[in-house]
């Protein structure tokens, strides 16, 4: 899970500070030592760590913190602000041509997921009401052109290719085709290498000259840690990079590359890859990421995911059911399916302030693969049992277990999850919902 190790260490450090009514210089020095170790263990660049810790320490030792009624909160606020600045301060958006065609040149080493990322970016742009086309300029890697065509077909975006032509010529012809056909964004996929070399850079320079891109986006693999930062530095020196797309960030529990790349290269992270599916590409928000690292949640991203995934009519029906206390197992299953569409359940809960350490959820099985088991168990129930789970006694549980091919303990677990979810939903319904002027108001905010 993203930043899991770093987040836990920082949250534990600040928990110790909260237990002190007043902070001394010694308390802050000890806390900063723990912050420094946590960042180094997360594979953050050591120079970046040194500057970050010094800045936080200097601000934390100020009179406004030490003499504050809530000094621990002040320190956490400072760390949050410094993390936001470390990762770029504000969201860095794509630069579009004011009129006509926008050209995005994608670069990167082999194995970073560049071709798939082209498809992910094309799908993202379609959702932003853009009309993209892709150009297949990786003529060396076996089946690279076919891979881009397959990805393009899945996301409904055309791919221009030309057998036997040079990459720069393919890019130039794709540019003409895109302009003449009314497309407003051209995404140019280029070849990679195992490492940066002159041949690769010369080719990218020729492609750059042939299409004059509005942005050059470097795709790097987060799981390579500081190597990703070094690659970004190398590409920028030779090619001039406008921004970074960091892939496989969901698989890197440390996250050091994400925390280092802007400080070391000066280039912002524009998007992050958070899964293998073609819709698993998200704009990078430094402020939201900092909140998630510090266990403060990320309600804005959660709301955006919900708006994309949830049916408004069904949401209103669910709210009505909660008010009428008629939430049942069929509703529970529907909620699980919709949450599945939003991504990892663990990540979703981590976006809700206060829920990442919520004791009521500790016993819930949040493995996404369990959904099929839950469906089998609920499908093995009678209509009456699904609508009124309170009637499910021992003998009924044995029958449901046999019908679903699951042990009785699994049936018990699903029923327990249902009750816990019911309590949580009641909390949302009773204390949250829509506040004045349509602003979302949640119990944890």
Hey, is 343 helix, strand or coil? coil
Task: Tell me how crowded residue 340 is: count the other CB atoms within 10 A of its CB.
Answer: 14
φ/ψ of residue 132, rounded to 5: -90, 160
Q: Where in the chain is the domain with CATH 1.10.260.30?
A: 299-438
Q: Look up tokens 């044995």; give the residue.
A: 398
What is the CATH architecture assignment of 102-293? 3-Layer(aba) Sandwich (3.40)
DSSP 367-393: -GGGHHHHHHHHHTS-HHHHH-GGG--
Closest among 106, 93, 98, 95 to 135, alpha carbons compared: 106
Which of left, alpha, beta for 182 (phi over 0: left; psi -120 to 50: alpha)? left
CATH 3.40.50.300 intervals, the chain: 102-293
Taking only the tens place, the pLDDT of each residue in 345-388 is: 666 666 555 555 554 444 444 555 677 888 889 999 999 999 89
Rounded Cα gap, residues 226 and 223, in angstroms: 9
Most confident of 10-24, 190-204, 208-222, 253-267: 208-222
* Chain region(s) in the chain for CATH 1.20.120.140: 4-86
Tell me if 118 sits within 8 A of 151, measured CB to CB.
yes
Question: Which pTM was predicted?
Answer: 0.69
Q: What is the mean pLDDT of the chain?
A: 80
Rounded CA separation 336/347 (Å): 14
What's residue 350's pLDDT? 60
Q: For 271-313, what is each residue's pLDDT tens digit?
A: 988 888 888 898 988 888 888 777 765 455 555 555 555 555 6
The stretch 159-178 carries a mean pLDDT of 92
Question: What gap in Å lies between CA 252 and CA 245, rounded to an integer?
Answer: 15
Q: Pick the residue with more confidence: 425 or 440?
A: 425
Give the chain's end-to-end CA distance (angstroms, integer). 23
Residue range 71-123, pLDDT digits in tens: 777 888 888 888 889 888 888 889 898 888 999 999 988 888 899 999 999 99
Q: Which CATH class is domain 4-86?
A: mainly alpha
Least confident of 135-144, 154-163, 306-315, 398-407: 306-315
Q: Quickly tell me which residue has 């802007």 as its tokens.
A: 262
Class of domain 299-438: mainly alpha
From CA 40, how far away is CA 46, in angstroms rounded? 7
Average pLDDT over residues 161-167: 89
Task: Determine what percent of the chain is predicted with pLDDT higher than 90.
Answer: 27
């Amino acid at each position: 899970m993203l930043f899991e190790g770093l987040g836990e260490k920082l949250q534990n450090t600040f928990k110790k500070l909260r237990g002190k009514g007043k902070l001394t210089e010694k308390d802050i020095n000890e806390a900063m030592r723990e912050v420094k170790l946590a960042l180094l263990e997360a594979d953050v660049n050591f120079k970046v760590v040194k500057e970050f810790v010094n800045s936080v320490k200097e601000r934390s030792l100020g009179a406004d913190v030490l003499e504050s009624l809530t000094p621990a909160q002040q320190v956490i606020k400072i760390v949050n602000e410094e993390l936001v600045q470390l990762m770029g301060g504000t969201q860095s958006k794509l630069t579009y041509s004011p009129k006509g065609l926008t050209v995005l040149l994608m670069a990167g080493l082999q194995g970073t997921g560049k071709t798939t990322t082209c498809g992910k970016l094309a799908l993202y742009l379609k959702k932003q009401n853009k009309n993209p086309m892709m150009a297949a300029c990786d003529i060396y890697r076996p089946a690279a052109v076919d891979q881009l065509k397959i990805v393009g077909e899945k996301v409904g975006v055309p791919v221009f290719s030309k057998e036997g032509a040079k990459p720069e010529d393919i890019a130039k012809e794709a540019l003409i085709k895109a302009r003449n056909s009314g497309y407003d964004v051209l995404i140019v996929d280029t070849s990679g290498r195992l490492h940066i070399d002159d041949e690769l850079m010369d080719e990218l320079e020729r492609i750059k000259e042939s299409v004059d891109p509005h942005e050059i986006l470097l795709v790097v693999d987060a799981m390579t840690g500081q190597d990703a930062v070094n690659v970004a530095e190398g590409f920028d020196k030779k090619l001039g990079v406008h921004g970074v797309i960091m892939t496989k960030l969901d698989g890197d529990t440390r996250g050091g590359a994400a925390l280092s790349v802007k400080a070391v290269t000066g280039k912002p992270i524009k998007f992050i890859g958070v899964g293998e599916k073609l819709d698993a590409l998200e704009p990078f928000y430094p402020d939201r990421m900092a909140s998630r690292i510090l266990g403060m949640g990320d309600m804005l991203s959660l709301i955006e995911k919900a708006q994309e995934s949830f049916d408004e009519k069904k949401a209103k029906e669910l709210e009505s059911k909660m008010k009428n206390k008629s939430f049942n197992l069929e509703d529970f299953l529907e909620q699980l399916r919709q949450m599945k569409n939003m991504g990892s359940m663990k990540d979703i809960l981590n976006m809700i302030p206060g829920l990442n350490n919520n004791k009521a959820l500790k016993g819930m099985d949040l493995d996404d693969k369990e959904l099929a088991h839950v469906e089998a168990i609920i499908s093995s129930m009678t209509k009456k049992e699904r609508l009124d789970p309170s009637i499910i006694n021992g003998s009924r549980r044995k029958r449901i277990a046999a019908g679903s091919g699951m042990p009785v303990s699994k049936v018990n677990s699903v029923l327990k999850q249902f009750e816990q979810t019911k309590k949580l939903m009641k909390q949302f319904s009773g204390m949250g919902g829509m506040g004045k002027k349509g602003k979302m108001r949640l119990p944890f905010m």
